[in-house]
Chains A and B, each alone.
Chain A
Amino acid sequence: MGPVISAAQLTKRYGSLVAVDAVSFSVSRGEVFGFLGPNGAGKTTTMKMIQCISPVTSGHLSVFGMDVDLRPREIKRMLGVLPQETNLDPDFTCFENLTHYARYFGIAKRQAGDRADELLSFLQLEEKRDVRIEKLSGGMKRRLLLARALVNDPQLLVLDEPTIGLDPQGRHLIWEKLKALQADGNTIVLTTHYLEEAERLCNRLVIMDEGKILVEGSPGDLVSNYVGSDILEVEHTPPVIACLDDMHEHYEIFGDIVQVQTTHPREVAKELFERCNPGRVFARPASLEDEFLKLTGRVLRD
């Protein structure tokens, strides 16, 4: 069986702005594939092209082996989409939101009702079944959106910032549900700003910036390949800097903290204590966030 999504030199231009710049990637069946990047990196635009709602400017994009520009209806029938912004229907209750959405897929009424109840219980929303959506908390709305994305039993889930704006409880509940879906063999593509989320969920991910894919790999590979395994955080004082320069260690300064990237943190720390008075030294494993900031820089995007 071929890949679920296959993109080659995929490009999207808005006038002179290049939102997505000749990216190529493919997503296999059963994979959870993540798009990371700062705001404006081109993640959501890529999602919209996969969803067949934004035409491709150039390059090729196929989903389930079908061209997105030519067979959008067939593709969309097999997709479950969780949008970044809530677009639940405020005129309906939770249950009606699901059954009405099922109708757009041509699912029969009784079947839609059964499916809606099943999904409400899967996402722990049974008690809100007949409540209008204006009465829901942010976390409940997000869960209902996920339920709605599952109403047509999709073969590919497209999640744009699945846990945006959620408290830790809400986020963990969504993660748990996505893990369950993954275990059932669902293919999922998602975008996120939360690196922890990507580390937890994704089998494979790409980091995008300015429309381009910077790196691709599993979360573990990316961290060790690009950053070195550990980070030492030391107070920023002139003697410490002098020491580090002497030791030929690679470091970066962030305000009153110096970060040293190293594969042997114990030795570096020991040497620092011997040669200068570093004050406090804090060692931790490098995370995807370090990798992310290294690749995309620390400048605010908006």
Chain B
Amino acid sequence: MDSYLIPRISRLSLKVWQRNWDVFFKTYQVNFLPPFIEPVLYLVAIGFGLGMFVGEIDGIPYVNFIAPALLAISMMNAAFFECTYSSYVRMYYQKTFEAMIATPLSIDDVVTGELLWGATRSCIYSSVMLLVFALFGVVDLPLSLLIVPFSFLAGLLFACIAMCFTAITPGIDALNYPSFLFITPMFLFSGTFFPLDVLPPAVQTFAVVFLPLTQLVIITRSLTLSSLSPLFLYSLIWIILVTALCFVLSLRLMRRRLIV
């Protein structure tokens, strides 16, 4: 019994990652179009459209202010939705996990592979977006290139958070709760489309201390605007710690769900 409590992660988890990678590129036409189109829509409608009325925030053109937030949001969404709905479909409907653990793969390998894939998806999407934004000239180069490695870490954070929900959800519909009550509010109140300091101090503190997306926005904005602050370091450490915590938690919860 006890031997089931020790994490059993091996290099075989990369085979799970590879499976998802292969499927992704089999249908790359549908997988690559959204990350190209969506940011352009947001950038044009909100950045340039709404930006005409907003003008500047803290001396920064509005479109440049929201560009890093859009990058952070795409990292969040790519990993979160991959490791909730998509992972749930693979786990519950397709029984892919079950097929995998009948091979030398452990359940920890499977979950780890899924998490690494979620992070990779964030990385792919935000890199594509970054390219588009660079063409629009709304991000500073070369510092913004650090977004690429950072997006993997950020994606891993949201993948791990998502996997915890996937492990405890009673069904696929119940995943709407974290999507609408956790992801959507964060999308709006993490310093994305307006600075945090217009919010009441208590809400500001809450956002900086507890909301994962706030940390992502702090980092991406520092990079695209080339303005590093001590908050940058704080957010980076926050992300690393919470990722580690949620990683261990997601393994435990998934094992509780799948090993019976």
Chain B associates with chain A: yes
**A57-B1 contact given A85-B95, A100-B19, CB 8 Å threshold:** yes
List CB contacts (< 8 Å) of A186-220 with chain B.
none
Which A22-56 residues sit within 8 Å CB-CB of chain B? 51, 53-56
Once the chains bind, are A105 and B98 in contact (CB under 8 Å)? no
Known contacts: A69-B1, A69-B3, A104-B12. The answer to whether A87 contacts B18 by CB under 8 A is no
* B227 in the interface (beta carbon within 8 A): no
Does the CB pair B259–A53 fall under 8 Å?
yes
> What are the interface flags for A71-92 relative to B under an 8 Å C-beta threshold, 1 for contact and 0 otherwise?
0110011010101011111111
A95 within 8 A of B: no
CB of B257 within 8 Å of the partner chain: no
Contact A55 B103 (CB under 8 A): no
Q: Is the CB of B23 within 8 A of A87?
A: no
Across the interface, which residues of A come within 8 angstroms of B22, CB to CB?
100
Total interface residues on B, using CB and 8 Å? 26
Give the residues in chain B near A86, CB-CB below 8 Å: 95
Across the interface, which residues of B come within 8 angstroms of A254, CB to CB? none
| A89: contacting residue among B8, B99, B101, CB under 8 A | B99
| Chain B nearest CB, measured from A21 CB (Å) | 17
Asked whether A73 lies within 8 Å of B106 as measured between CB atoms, the reply is yes
B4 CB–A CB distance under 8 Å? yes
Complex CA distance for A81 and B96, rounded to whole angstroms: 14
Task: Name the CB-closest residue of A to B16.
Answer: A104
- By beta carbon, the residue of chain B nearest A48 is B260
Check A105–B99 contact: CB distance below 8 A. Answer: no
Report the bound CA distance from A164 to B112 in whole Å.
Answer: 33
- Interface residues of chain A: helix, strand, loop or mixed (majority): loop
A100-B22, A104-B12 given; A72·B98 CB < 8 A: no
Nearest chain A residue, comparing its CB with the CB of B260 = A54
Contact of A14 among B1, B8, B95, B260 (CB under 8 A): B260
Are B1 and A104 in contact (CB-based, < 8 A)?
no
- Alpha-carbon gap, A101 to B10, bound state (A): 17
Instruction: Closest A residue to B105 by CB, please name it.
Output: A104
A14 surroundings in chain B (CB, below 8 A): 260
A171 to chain B, nearest CB (A): 23
Contacts of A300 in B (CB 8 A): none
B170 at the A interface (CB under 8 A): no
Given contacts A14-B260, A91-B26, contact A51 B96 (CB under 8 A): no
> B102 within 8 Å of A by Cβ?
yes
Q: Is the CB of B106 within 8 A of A72?
A: yes
Given contacts A104-B15, A104-B105, 15 further A-B contacts (CB under 8 A): A53-B101, A53-B102, A54-B259, A55-B4, A69-B3, A77-B104, A85-B95, A87-B94, A87-B95, A89-B19, A90-B94, A101-B103, A103-B18, A104-B100, A105-B103
